[in-house]
Amino acid sequence: MFDVEKRFNERHAYPYVFLSEQPFTAAFKRIVRKATNASVHFGLIDQHQWQYPQWIDQDRAKSAIQMWADSNGATVAAATGWRHMVRFWASPVALHPLLRSFRYMWRLEPGSHYTCDIFYDPLRLMHDRQISYAFAVSFEAMPDTVPTLWPSALEFIHDSLSAHTLPSNNKNNSLGWILNNFSSSSRKSRPLHSYNRCEFLTNFELVDLDFMRSGAYQQLFDFLDRRGGIYYERWTDASIRSLAVTMLLGSDKVHWLHDIGYRHDLRHNCPAARDLQMRCTCDSLKSTHLLPMSCSARWKTDAAFIPWDSF
């Protein structure tokens, strides 16, 4: 929040919304309100959105979560609350009462840093260009995190085409970004192997909440949610959001925020333009988008439409 204020929001005064499954203390609220001149809203997350859905086998989920954590040395992913959190961010957040009056959401993540001054308004850019999703960092997820995500997506596509809820002439997808060298002639021999697991880092994202509230997004989320991959594997809000964006939005509705400096843990985006570097504290030569596992630079070249009947 301090970074956002200094780099951007002290000039715009966009309101902040803080959500938690636990009540905020009076001291926390006081400190936050002193940090900004913008309005601040605090809200609670409904308990039923922070617990296992009724269709999840809890014993199987706990075993799978612990097994994944043990094999990968990841303690955070072993926390049940972390799984509830990513499920909340995957969809329910857009339906929270405190967000009903907002069209756009700029997600802030504890521990993240904005490393460049931002002298334009990304939210205004979203509105003026009718962009539905914007990201700064993307990467290829580890293979063992989403082994059944794309097969589940294929099942959703087939069911939707059969039910005529996904018109075969609908050209609003950018699936080329997540499918390497996909073609209708290769799908019989390599129906699953072309999925490259590219994901947007959702710790920093700008989202048109109307997109997340749409019937198509909600149907896809409900379908995937009932597959249980958030608990039985390691699907995250990034996994689900990235799939939804590429399945439901054309490339013209998605924007790479290449000119915004952002860092979360070891992943970061740092603009290379000299005029921007003068306003940054990051090293553009170490930007994540230069690494082979990054998918950001591929967006402009690979985010092509793939006809639904190709599947």
Provide the annotated active-site residues. Answer: 205
* Structure tokens, 179: 């499918």
DSSP class per residue in 265-280: TTEEE----HHHHTTB
- d(C-alpha 311, C-alpha 161), whole Å: 10
DSSP class per residue in 14-44: --EEEEESSPPPHHHHHHHHHT-SS-EEEEE
- d(C-alpha 251, C-alpha 265), whole Å: 28
Pairing of strands 267-269, 205-208: unpaired
- d(C-alpha 131, C-alpha 262), whole Å: 20
